[in-house]
């Protein structure tokens, strides 16, 4: 990577204001929590924010779900807790598509300034939702709306289209090193 690409935004020059399409991908931890950080930051600026969680169990009450409720932020999970062991893939796919229809309506409604599509790379990666259809909707998004998509295996077409792409890279994870499983507060 060249020096220029790692430097911060220069102070001089035209300031373009537009909503960005951001992707947090990679195998390291922090994709969802980084998106939540933006949600928190934008909420602090009284911006209208919303998070749609894909795959995670419908009605899940994670730490972030509880915080969102307290703060008055819309956050809904729709899924059946998909893992590679999931047997009823039809239902998993149907729930992901249903959540996409809801998220799509929210994106096009022009009612929001930040929308997070958490774990949304998977339905595209597995081919349940067409990445081209997603990009078509992203093209039509309101000009100032920021969208953050999280999850591993972001499709190349999405990476190409996005304005900001960050790859989380695992250097060390307590599960791998010590068999320590997800803990409340830190991970859910
Ligand atoms: P987080 O929600 O903590 O920001 P994430 O969104 O980057 O994590 P996901 O792929 O969505 O990561 O997985 C969420 C869960 O998997 C978390 O409990 C997280 O600690 C765990 N996890 C993330 N990366 C790894 C890894 N490299 N090895 C093992 N477990 C991981
Ligand atoms: Mg995640």
Residues 102-127 pLDDT 10s: 999 999 999 999 999 999 999 999 99
The CATH code of the domain that includes 70 is: 3.40.50.300
Number of structural domains the chain divides into: 1
Flag whether 5 is in a domain: no
Residues near ligand 2 ion, CB 5 Å cutoff = 31-32
- Helix, strand, coil shares of the chain as percentages rounded to 5? 40, 15, 45
Residue 5 pLDDT grade (very low, low, confident, very high; cuts 50, 70, 90):
low
pLDDT digits (tens, 9 = 90+) for 8-58: 766 677 788 999 999 999 999 999 999 999 999 999 999 999 999 999 999
Residue 83 annotated among the catalytic residues of the structure: no
Entry pTM: 0.92
Distance, C-alpha 80 to centroid of its chain? 18
Catalytic site residue 2? no
Per-chain mean pLDDT for the chain: 93
- Does the annotation count 29 as an active-site position? yes
- Enclosing domain of residue 139: 17-167
Q: Is the CB of 32 under 6 A from ligand 1?
A: yes
């Amino acid at each position: 990577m060249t020096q220029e690409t790692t430097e911060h935004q220069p102070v001089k020059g035209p300031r373009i204001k537009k909503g960005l399409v951001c992707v947090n991908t990679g195998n390291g931890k922090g994709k969802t929590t980084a998106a939540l950080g933006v949600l928190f930051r934008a909420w602090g600026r009284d911006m209208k924010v919303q998070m749609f969680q894909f795959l995670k169990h419908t009605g899940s009450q994670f730490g972030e779900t509880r915080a969102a409720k307290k703060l008055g932020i819309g956050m809904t999970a729709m899924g059946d807790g998909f893992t590679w062991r999931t047997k009823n893939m039809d239902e998993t796919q149907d729930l992901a598509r249903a959540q996409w229809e809801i998220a799509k309506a929210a994106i096009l409604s022009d009612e929001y300034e930040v929308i997070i599509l958490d774990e949304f790379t998977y339905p595209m990666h597995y081919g349940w939702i067409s990445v081209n259809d997603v990009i078509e909707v992203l093209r039509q998004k309101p000009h100032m709306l920021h969208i953050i998509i999280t999850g591993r295996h972001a499709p190349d077409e999405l990476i190409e289209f996005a304005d900001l792409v960050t790859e989380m890279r695992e250097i060390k994870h307590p599960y791998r090193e010590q068999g320590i499983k997800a803990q409340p507060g830190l991970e859910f």
